[in-house]
């Protein structure tokens, strides 16, 4: 019975106010959608072949088809690694340093059209933890990435 209680406690912990988990998983879903869309435009056969494949296979195909460069691929791989931690480790809590490192990598790899990455990075650098960071600026992370993925 103790194991069940521990498992339920971890589950309930994931339901607490977590500014990181919801927007991150949503952002990952949208990025995957955009990658699939771009792949379909460039290589329909490959897109159909990968219709039931996971994020990593789609990411690899977009790189192999020249849709994204190596720098963007590496940022998207890191996003996927973090998504996997959320999915497979219910008690995963990213550190502020992880977030800052990710934002800095994204800022180097993607066009920051509306300064969303710069503003998000400023918020992170002035926050004591992920939980105290302003949620709006965190959402801008994926907005900027997806904006770049819409370019042909």
Going from N- to C-terminal start, the domains of the chain cover 20-149
74-87 pLDDT, tens digit each = 999 999 999 999 88
As a whole number of angstroms, the distance between CA 49 and CA 121 comes to 38
What crossing angle do the helices spanning 96-109 and 116-125 adopt, rounded to 10°? 160
Please give the model's pTM, rounded to 2 decimal places.
0.86
45-97 pLDDT, tens digit each = 999 999 999 999 999 999 999 999 999 999 999 999 999 998 888 778 888 99
106-137 pLDDT, tens digit each = 999 999 888 889 988 998 899 887 777 766 66
2-39 pLDDT, tens digit each = 565 567 776 666 666 666 788 889 999 999 999 999 99
User: Per-residue b/e over 92-108, b at no fewer than 16 CB within 10 Å?
Assistant: eebebeebeebbebbbe
């Amino acid at each position: 019975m103790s194991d069940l209680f521990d498992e339920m406690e971890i589950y309930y912990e994931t339901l607490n106010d977590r500014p990181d988990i919801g927007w991150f998983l949503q952002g990952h879903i949208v990025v995957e959608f955009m990658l699939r869309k771009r792949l379909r435009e460039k290589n329909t056969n490959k897109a159909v072949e990968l219709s039931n494949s996971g994020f990593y296979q789609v990411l690899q195909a977009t790189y192999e088809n020249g849709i994204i460069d190596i720098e963007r691929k590496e940022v998207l791989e890191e996003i996927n690694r973090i998504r996997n931690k959320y999915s497979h480790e219910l008690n995963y809590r990213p550190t502020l340093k992880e977030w800052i490192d990710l934002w800095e990598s994204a800022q180097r790899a993607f066009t920051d059209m509306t300064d969303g990455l710069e503003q998000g990075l400023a918020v992170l650098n002035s926050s004591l933890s992920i939980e105290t960071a302003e949620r709006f600026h965190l959402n801008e992370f994926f907005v900027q990435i997806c904006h770049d993925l819409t370019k042909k």
